Amino acid sequence: MTGMSERNRHLIVLGIGLILLFGLPWVVDVVTLLELTIYIVYALFALSLGFIWGHGGILCFGQAAFFGLGAYTYAVAAINVGESSGPFLLAILLPAAFAALLGAMMFYGRLSDVYLGVITLVVALILFKFVNSTANETYVIGQARLGGFNGIPGFPTLNWPGDPSAPLMPDEMFYLAMGLLIAVYFGLHGLLRSRFGRIVVAIRENELRAELLGYDVRLYKTAVFAIGGGIAGLAGVLFANWGNFVSPGVFGLAQSATAIIWVIVGGLGTLIGPIVGAVLIQFLTTQLGQQSVVNNAFVLGLILVLVVLLLPKGLMPTLGQLFSRGRRK
């Protein structure tokens, strides 16, 4: 494939990941660490889309539905429970179950890719509209007010398991987010090497052939979609805890579209691509936000157009090719 064996590449990724995990909190101040944490959260969200799109062949235009569901589930459950472990798990399981249900309807209904894109987009927008219109105080789940466009502020943030009096500090939030990103990355890598993962990739390559070999494509795609939903939910939980605030914007079109841009820029079909894409684009967005010469969205749009035209495979696959070519010379 490339000049470097797959094993070596993953060892390098693991090495860099561990150095960043244990090294960064020692060299950067707490404000930078907080900023890095949100990049990692976005990277996790990008990974969820990169997995279902790049490996499962499912282009979801509404991945924010699961991200938002994770964020809101955590906020509502944390207010009701008062401790974070249960809500944390629930906020992964609920989006995964919702994705499984939605996926089953779409895949068993044999929807074509275009309709699949439209339906996922519409589901995210319906959730946005619904949550946005729950400002009235009658919209409560247990003790939690949904708050409509005002969002939900001030819910109990993540604490050490079983001890609500010990909330995670910013550096601990960083360790958790980075540790989870590394775990999810290698978990997905292991999954793709398993029999299940090889069949998923085969389905992306040729759905009819996979069917004719006796694999129930609908079941596999539903499972992939549910896993992607769970990971997006996990990113949503971390997002909610990072700012200690959730608002309907988490379900928004911008959230879904940005994730698609991260994946395209970083490189479809790799696991590292979406991570690099998310971190890079978010870093640029932050830097551009500090100036007022050019419009932020304009520059990001230009970057997307340039990447699509000049690096159609995305950043990481192109770098991989260049690297292997360089080694061969």
Partner 1 sequence: MSARGEVVLETRGLTMRFGGVVAVDQVDFTLRDGELRCLIGPNGAGKSTFFKCLTGQLKPSAGDVLVRERPMTGAEPCRMAQAGIGVKTQTPSVFNGLTVRENLFLALARHHAGRIADARTDEALERYGLADLRHRRVGELAHGQRQRVEIAMVVAAEPWLVLLDEPAAGMTHEEVDALAALIRDINRRSTMIIVEHDMQFIRMIGDRVTVFHQGAILIEDHVDTVLDDARVREVYLGS
Query: Which of these segments, 81-89, 118-126, 204-212, 272-280, binds partner 1 (CB under 8 A)?
Result: 204-212
CB 63 within 8 A of CB 48: yes
Smallest distance from partner 1 to CB 208, Å: 5
Q: Which stretch binds partner 1 (CB under 8 A): 137-145, 196-204, 227-235, 307-315?
A: 196-204
| Residue from 34, 100, 104, 199 in contact with partner 1 (CB under 8 A) | 199
Q: Which of residues 19, 169, 205, 287 is near partner 1 by CB under 8 A? A: 205
Part of the chain binding partner 1 (CB under 8 A), chosen from 3-11, 37-45, 171-179, 211-219: 211-219
User: Rounded distance, CA 315 to CA 313, Å?
Assistant: 7
| Comparison of 208 and 309: residue with beta carbon closer to partner 1 | 208
Residue in 105, 118, 166, 213 binding partner 1, rule: CB under 8 A:
213
Sole binder of partner 1 in the list 162, 214, 289, 326 (CB under 8 A): 214
The Cα angle at residue 125 between residues 124 and 130, in degrees rounded to 5: 100
Cβ contact 46:53 at 8 Å:
no
Can you read off the two tokens belonging to residue 219? 């079941």
Told to check if 6 binds partner 1 by CB under 8 A, we report no
Radius of gyration of the chain (CA): 20
**Shortest Å, Cβ 267 to partner 1:** 15
CA atoms within 13 A of residue 267's CA, in its CB half-sphere: 17
Of 320, 203, 313, 277, the C-alpha closest to 45 is 277
What residue type is assigned to position 297 of the chain? A
Give the number of other CB atoms < 10 A from CB of residue 174.
23
The rounded distance, in Å, linking the Cα atoms of 324 and 208 is 33
Please say which residue, 110 or 329, places its beta carbon nearer to partner 1: 110
215 binds partner 1 (CB under 8 A): yes
How many residues bind to partner 1 according to rule CB under 8 A? 17
Catalog residues that contact partner 1 under the rule CB under 8 A. 195, 198-199, 201-202, 205-206, 208-217
